[in-house]
Chain A
Amino acid sequence: MNDRIVFEDVSKFYGEILGVNRVNLSILPGVSSLVGPNGSGKTTLMNLMTGLVRPTRGRIHVLGHHPDEPEKLFRILGYSTQFDSFPKGLTGFQFVYSYLRLGGSDSQTADQLAWRAIERMNLTDDAGRNIAGYSKGMRQRVRLAQALCHNPRVLVLDEPLNGLDPLARTEMIALFRAAAADGCYVIISSHILHEVDAISDQVILLSNGYVVAEGPIHSVRNEIREHPAQILIRCDRPRDLASKMMESEHIIEARIHNDERGLLIKTQDADRFYLMLNRIALNGIEIESVAPADDDVNSVYEYLIGNDEVVR
Chain B
Amino acid sequence: MTELWWAQIKSVIRLEMKKTFFARRGLWIYILALLPLLLFIAHAAIASRERERSSHIASQSEKKLTYQDLLAVRSGMTSQEVIALLGKPPIRFRWNQRTPNLAISAATGTGGSGTPVNLSSAYNLNGIYTDTTTFTTGGLDGEGFAYSSNLLTANRILNGVQFNFGPANQLDAVSSTGQPIGLPSGQFTALQLLATAAHGPVLSQTITVTYTDSSTSTFTQSFSDWCSCSTNPGQQPGESLAVVMPYRDLSDGTQDGQPFNLYGYTFVLNSAKTVQSLTLPNNQDVVVLAATLTKQSLGTQVSLSGPGSFVNVPHERYHYSDGVNDLTLDLSDGRVEGIEIRTAVYSLGEDSIVFAGVFQFFYLRLAIFFGCLGIFMNLFRGEILDKSLHFYFLAPIRREVLMVGKFLAGLLATCVIFVTSELLQIVVFTWQFSPNTRDLYLYHNHGLAQAAAYLGITALACLGYGAFFLAAGMLFRNPILPAAAILVWEAVNPFLPALLKKFSVIYYLKSLCPVDIPSPRGTPPLLALLVSNPDPVSAPVAILGIVIVALLVLYVSSFQVRRMEINYTSE
Contact = CB atoms under 8 A, between A and B. Distances in A.
Size bin of chain A's contact surface: 20 to 34
A273 interface: no
A98 B14 CA distance: 9
B18 A89 contact: yes
A52 B565 CA distance: 5
A104 to B, nearest CB: 5
B396 A87 contact: no
B396 A103 contact: yes
Interface string A69-82: 01111110001010
Interface residues of B, number: 33
B235 interface: no
11 contacts: A51-B393, A54-B565, A70-B393, A71-B397, A72-B396, A79-B394, A87-B383, A88-B386, A99-B391, A103-B396, A103-B397
A47 B570 contact: no
Contacts of B387: 83, 85
A113 B401 CA distance: 23
B398 interface: yes
A167 interface: no
B25 to A, nearest CB: 11
Interface in B442-500: none
5 closest A-B pairs (Cβ-Cβ)?
Answer: A74-B396, A102-B395, A85-B387, A101-B11, A52-B566
Contact of B15 (A70, A71, A87, A103): A87
A113 to B, nearest CB: 13
B559 interface: no
Nearest to A81: B390
B38 interface: no
B567 A14 contact: yes
B64 interface: no
A104 B15 contact: no
A79 B392 CA distance: 12
A35 B392 CA distance: 28
B11 A85 contact: no
A68 interface: yes
A69 to B, nearest CB: 8
Nearest to B18: A89
B476 to A, nearest CB: 18
B568 to A, nearest CB: 7
A74 B391 CA distance: 12
A50 interface: yes
A135 B186 CA distance: 107
Contact of B8 (A51, A72, A103): A103
Contacts of A274: none
Contacts of B399: 70
Nearest to A74: B396
B69 to A, nearest CB: 65
- Most chain B Cβ neighbours within 10 Å, of A68, A89, A102: A102
B403 to A, nearest CB: 12
B94 interface: no
Given A85-B387, A87-B15, A53 B397 contact: no
Contacts of A53: 565-567
B93 interface: no
B19 A70 contact: no
A88 B19 contact: yes
B566 A104 contact: no
Contacts of B19: 87-89
A262 to B, nearest CB: 49
Nearest to A47: B566
Given A53-B567, A54-B563, A104-B4, A74 B388 contact: no
